[in-house]
Amino acid sequence: MMSSLIRSMVAMGVIALALGSTVVSGQELRFSWWGGGERHEAFLKAIKLFEAKNPGVKIKAEYTGFQGYQERLTTQIAGKSEPDIMQVNWAWVSAFSKSGDGFYDLRKSASVMKLNEFTDNDLALGTINGKLNAVPVGFAARMFFWNKGALDKAGVAIPKTWDEMFAAGKALRAKAGTKAYLIDGEGYDMILMSHAYVYQKYGTPYVDPKTGKIAMSAAALKEWASIYKRFQDEHVATPLPLRASLGGVEKPTEQQPDWVAGNWTGNYTWDSVIRLRGSTLPGKGSELDVGDFLTLPGAKNSGVFGRPVHMYAVSKRSKHPEIGAKFIDFMMTDPEAIRVLDLSRGIPSTAIAFKQLLKEDRLRPLEVKAYARIATLNRNNAITPPAAQFEHPRMQKFMREVFEQVGYGKINADEAAKMLNEQGSTILQRL
Amino acid sequence: MYENKRLGLLYCLPFVIGVALFKLFPFAMSFALSFTQFDLIEPPKYIGLENYREMMTTDKLFPKSLGVTLMFVALTVPLRLAAALMVAQVLNFKLKGINFFRSAFYLPSILGGSIAVSILWRFVFAKNGLVNQAMTALGAEPIMWLGDENYSMWTIVTLNVWQFGSSMVIFLAALQNVPTSLYEAAAMDGAGKTTVFFRITVPLITPVIFFNLIMQTVHAFQEFNGPYMVTEGGPLHSTYLLSLYIYDQSFKLFNLGYGTALSWVLFALVATLSAVAFYSSKYWVYYAGEKERS
């Protein structure tokens, strides 16, 4: 009895192993991404298209929302079980691949990729120690978007300078009441908007992209905290406690009833999400306009915060890295894939994709306008991508905590500057 | 006989292997990792007691998070047990349609831990949410439940207390086991309802109160979904329970060594409090058939 039981167990084990090996021995690759319903739908269609064009290849989709994606991917990489093809954030690339060996070097598969469709700057953003770890899907920058209809109704002109913005905040409040705020943004957006002001005034970002160390002077750090508080106190930007009380500081603007009602008249956000922001407005965003990037007299820098939207990378452990590279190339350059993917991932960074979308009238005038502005800034080298350390999760958490205390009036600008300098340096040293 | 014993052990083997692989091994590994600096990507680096030293000296968030956790447990556990016992007492009466009410009161326990209900809670307690609309209708000033550090704790406490169903069911079973002869005797002696409850009912169900106390305390220390989804630990870390801090350190900040050290401190805390509860139980828990204490 005992021996027959063991024999059966061994037989079942052999069958299970055989079945398992059948699955992994084919050209099956896993592709993981985050996004919303529209992106999921478009990506699944693109996968089918790729599979049809490449018989014998199977791409297994693993998709979720953004929340928890990084944690899941980190655990998978730690367990050496990450997907073959991954959508990653720009800042994660250097965290996962400190020496450049964390991902497959896409240059090894240059023969199946049209890398000339990317600009040198784009490729540099995914290169570590000469190895192309990832390619950017698109480049985005935070811009000022205004609900022109709501501002016209209140008789307030779109501001062009920071001083005009403070004046406009006051005017809007006087005309539209205390529920009205000139501009809204998620928690991190408001930190960056204040950073833009200080970057323009002092000419240095918080973290130096070259050295990875804190570059701002004590005076600049103090002004960063001061201006952040001033935006809230002078009724220019939606205050942090208010946003928290409405369901979380990171709750997207388009889900805020005050944005839909036109009480919040502007948004400081990525150009890539503006269609989403407009989706809940009565005119589906037709009243939105992209404003000039606010400037200071004698600004030393554009202050614009721009970087790749997200990137595609191939696992260094993939059994079929060449197919992974080919798939990425397909997503970025194949005319049919570009059509199917449309704007589900923003405006793609490859020249061929942009031209096709423009030709096929897939871009709205506002998107083209914002894209053109960013392209001009990039051509003039007016956008310096931030230090990767600036967007490291530990630095993000630290900055959010400091500015939360500023927003709630728990610490003053001097205390905030001291924390940003001393504690920020300690964190940077550890990264 | 011997053959059957081996077969029995073979049947147990999957469970033993499962426990060893998925419980004991991670348990031991987490203890080892708590003495390392481990970012999940590079191999762990041994740093001795550095994680624990940092926790006790320089990390300002740890005492804050610990205090918040203790406050959450101190508020949640008594309120949840009181609510469970109170409702169980009411549902113990023989009323028409009582089974419907028993199911209805148990329902939040099934739903309450889910992400969907946590999101719903966020809408309910938002500044423009249902709670504030009700308060305004009653003439009260709206409160920034999610945005004010003085009130945010109550949003996750109420969500947790609302899920009292499992304790309630256990209390209900215990109440039904109290001999009715004791109630009849008390009634004949002229005891009032309050006296009967505190002098007869409560002493007789102390083993179940103790069981629920231990279970709910452990559960409260492990609470994650509510604060993660409703308040995200904020504002100003006012709902930043240790479970959230452990998760953030381990998986968001690539600091698994420190995260595991935090986990072990939480484990030690729960173990100590449980030990204290067990020790104190001999003074207030009465088991049927137990000899009178000297």
Q: Which of B40, B122, B248 is opposite residue A74, by nearest beta carbon?
A: B40
- Which of B145, B62, B154, B143 is closest to A248 using CA atoms? B145
Most A-contacting residue of B41, B59, B131, B249 (CB-CB within 10 A), to test interface: B41
Q: Which of A242, A257, A394 is opposite residue B253, by nearest beta carbon?
A: A394
Q: What is the DSSP string of B50-95?
A: HHHHHHHTT-SHHHHHHHHHHHHHHHHHHHHHHHHHHHHHHHTS--
Q: What percent of chain B has a predicted confidence (pLDDT) above 70?
A: 96
- Quick check: A316 and A393 in contact, CB under 8 A? no
CATH of region A141-306+386-430: 3.40.190.10
Subunit contact A1:B236, Cβ cutoff 8 A: no
- Minimal Cα–Cα distance from A428 to chain B, Å? 13
- Where residue B289 falls among pLDDT bands split at 50, 70, 90? low
Subunit contact B254:A95, Cβ cutoff 8 A: yes
pLDDT means per 10 residues in chain A (431 residues)?
A: 49 47 65 92 97 96 90 90 95 88 96 92 90 93 95 94 96 93 95 97 94 96 98 95 93 93 95 89 85 92 90 96 97 95 88 92 90 88 89 92 97 97 93 80
Find the chain A residues whose C-beta atoms sit closer than 8 A to any C-beta of B: 1-2, 5, 70-71, 74-75, 77-78, 95-96, 98, 102, 240-250, 257, 393-394, 397, 401, 404-405, 408, 410
**Rounded Cα–Cα distance for residues A263 and A280 (Å):** 13
Tell me the residue ranges of DSSP E strands in A220-316. Answer: 266-270, 288-290, 306-308, 311-314
Subunit contact A245:B146, Cβ cutoff 8 A: yes
The β-bridge partners of B7 are none
**Rounded Cα–Cα distance for residues A209 and A245 (Å):** 35
Chain A residues in contact with B10 (beta carbon < 8 A): 5
Subunit contact B146:A77, Cβ cutoff 8 A: no
Most A-contacting residue of B17, B240, B252, B260 (CB-CB within 10 A), to test interface: B252
The pLDDT value recorded for residue A393 is 86
**Rounded Cα–Cα distance for residues B27 and B25 (Å):** 5
pLDDT tens per residue across span B232-263 = 998 999 999 999 999 999 988 889 999 999 99
CATH of region A27-138+309-360: 3.40.190.10
Residues 6+ apart with CB under 8 A from A132: A105, A106, A107, A115, A123, A126
- Quick check: B146 and B127 in contact, CB under 8 A? yes
Subunit contact A397:B235, Cβ cutoff 8 A: no
CATH 3.40.190.10, chain A: domain bounds: 27-138+309-360, 141-306+386-430
The pLDDT value recorded for residue B1 is 55
Largest CA distance in chain B: 78
- Quick check: A97 and A332 in contact, CB under 8 A? no
**Rounded Cα–Cα distance for residues B289 and A12 (Å):** 52
Positive/negative CA dihedral, B154, B156, B159, B164: negative
Closest residue in chain B to residue A411, using alpha carbons only? B236
Chain B residues in contact with A259 (beta carbon < 8 A): none
**Rounded Cα–Cα distance for residues B65 and B70 (Å):** 9
Cα B114 versus chain centre, distance: 15
Subunit contact A404:B251, Cβ cutoff 8 A: no
CATH of B61-284, one of 1.10.3720.10, 3.30.60.50, 1.20.1050.140, 1.20.1260.10: 1.10.3720.10
**Rounded Cα–Cα distance for residues B218 and B267 (Å):** 10
Q: In this structure, how many other beta carbons lie within 10 angstroms of the beta carbon of residue A25?
A: 9
Subunit contact B235:A404, Cβ cutoff 8 A: yes
- Which of B119, B221, B238, B104 is closest to B164 using CA atoms? B104
**Rounded Cα–Cα distance for residues A133 and A139 (Å):** 17
ipTM, 2 dp: 0.84
In this model, does residue B81 exceed pLDDT 80?
yes
Specify the range with the lowest mean pLDDT, choosing from B53-62, B85-94, B273-282: B85-94
Cα B58 versus chain centre, distance: 29
The β-bridge partners of A61 are A31
The pLDDT value recorded for residue B292 is 52
